[in-house]
Amino acid sequence: MIFDRLIRKIIETQNPTCVGLDTSFSYLPEEMRAGKVTPAQKAEAVFSFNRGIIDSVFDIVPAVKVQIAYYEALGAAGLACFEKTCAYARNKGLFVIVDAKRNDIGATAAQYANAFFSEGAPFECDLLTVNGYLGTDGIAPFIDLCRENGKGIFVLVKTSNPSSGELQNLRLTDGRTVYECMGDAVEKWGEGMVGTYGYSCAGAVVGATYPEEAKVLRERLPHTFFLVPGYGAQGANAEMLKNCFKKGGLGGIVNNSRGILCAYLKRGGDYASAARAAALEMRADLKSVLGEICAN
């Protein structure tokens, strides 16, 4: 079960975080950008940068979250870089979460599921973000491959962005908000797939920027592991994301992208060392709120 394995790694590293490889070419140090003009040249530079980040943090963080949008912006060359980045991180023992928010009808969702969850597929990863607006038949193909190949999904439930409430916080006639309704669906999609630590293969995206909603969801969805965006650049601090966790500091993994990738701009020094220092600082920040992370 994917979250059993991830949780063991989180306990081992005492670090419920992932480094977000939302690597915009513009984030690279000037000397890595110099002379790179074509998408292929830029993509190659992004891969070098990612490799430096991964080499620098793989022993202190359990996972990376690779945001595919930044790679699509460079076309097929960007996706080749994405492919290499995912493979490199997995070879280093990191869990790879692909943040792609994929969604489609059943037959097409099966293609996406194959793309990210088939063994040996070029884009194979461990966990994938998906969007549940289309309902069960758009989610089922992912769940099938989660079961077969030990993968996991994070369904968008309450997202971290300013407008997320426009739809997600509306109230239905049955008394639930849309995000609660989506959360309930996630619990249902994960039924029969619950591991040793109590979490199913179906997780949820719950933004740290909305601690009240996070509190509601943490109580409502006992078998759902949370991917928590919003820390750092988006404005959430450690205190705000406490509600995403159960006692013992388990139940979620917090992402930080720009705060790690661009740490060198604030700290000086080389980008890889600055990223490691920022990742250690983030771990300390979270642990100051969550305490020792343990299984009960």
SS3 of 253-284: EEEECHHHHCHHHHHCCCHHHHHHHHHHHHHH
- Give the 3-state secondary structure of residue 150: coil
- In degrees to the nearest 10, what's the CA dihedral of 124, 225, 248, 148? -50
* Subset of 82-111 contacting its own copies (CB under 8 A): 82-83, 99, 101-106, 108-109, 111
Nearest approach in angstroms of CB 139 to its own copies is 8
| 138 binds its own copies per the rule CB under 8 A | yes
Applying CB under 8 A, which of residues 13, 14, 161, 273 lies at the interface with its own copies? 161
Angle, CA 194 vertex, CA 155 and CA 191 arms, to 5° = 65
Q: Are 141 and 202 in contact (CB under 8 A)?
A: no
Nearest approach in angstroms of CB 256 to its own copies is 14
Q: Are 67 and 20 in contact (CB under 8 A)?
A: yes
Nearest approach in angstroms of CB 128 to its own copies is 11
Applying CB under 8 A, which of residues 17, 85, 160, 255 lies at the interface with its own copies? 160
By CB under 8 A, which span of 51-59, 161-169, 268-276, 288-296 interacts with its own copies? 161-169
Give the count of beta carbons closer than 10 Å to the beta carbon of residue 182.
Answer: 22
Residue 162: enclosing H or E segment and its boundaries? none
Nearest approach in angstroms of CB 287 to its own copies is 27
Catalytic machinery residues: 101
Q: What one-character DSSP code corresponds to residue 225? A: P
Applying CB under 8 A, which of residues 11, 63, 96, 185 lies at the interface with its own copies? 185
* Subset of 37-66 contacting its own copies (CB under 8 A): 39
| 72 binds its own copies per the rule CB under 8 A | yes
Q: Are 170 and 196 in contact (CB under 8 A)?
A: no
Q: Are 129 and 103 in contact (CB under 8 A)?
A: no
| 159 binds its own copies per the rule CB under 8 A | yes
* Subset of 250-289 contacting its own copies (CB under 8 A): none
Binding site for its own copies (CB under 8 A): 22, 24, 39, 67, 69-70, 72-80, 82-83, 99, 101-106, 108-109, 111-112, 114-115, 121-123, 131-138, 156, 159-168, 170-174, 178, 181-182, 185, 229, 234
